[in-house]
Structure formats: C-alpha cells, structure tokens
Amino acid sequence: MELYDQVLNEVRQFLPRGEDVGRFVERQCRLHLKIEPSALRADHLPELARWISVSIGLLIPKEKAALLRQNIERLG
C-alpha cells in the first residue's frame, strides 16, 4: 500500500462523515507541502501530520487531532 493510501486510511477514521478524505489530504499536500500526493515520502510525514492536525482540529476535538497527528507520524 502506498504511503498516501496509508495516510488516507488514518484520516478516514477521524474525519467527520460526509467529508471527502481524498480531497482533504490532497489539499494539505498541495497547499502546505507544495507536492503532488503521489510524491509523498516518509520525510514529508511530520509536516503533513502537523498541517492535517491543524486543519482537522477545526472539525474535531483537539485531542483527537493530536492523536491523528501521532498516527500519521508513525507511518514513516
């Protein structure tokens, strides 16, 4: 499984129902990391995890956003 798909699986567990997981993670990659999702590498994970937790923290409790950040960082 590609790293990007692993990130999607993690985020899917936390993102509220009805939200487009692929679009959410893709936006984080393109806007904040300045990369295409297909170019995601393990060394991108800390920064991606940070931005995902900031963005998702607007939708879910901060504690859950922090847990998601840890889960994504561990994928590397």
Q: Check residue 16 and give its pLDDT.
A: 85
Other C-beta atoms lying within 10 Å of the C-beta of residue 41: 11
Other C-beta atoms lying within 10 Å of the C-beta of residue 64: 15
Q: Check residue 1 and give its pLDDT.
A: 64
* The total number of structural domains that make up the chain: 1
The domain in which residue 12 lies consists of 3-74
Asked if 11 and 56 touch (Cβ cutoff 8 Å), the reply is: yes
Structure tokens at 24: 């959410």
pLDDT tens readout for residues 1-46? 699 999 999 999 999 888 899 999 999 999 999 999 999 999 999 9
Torsion of CA 34, 36, 41, 47, to 10 degrees: 30
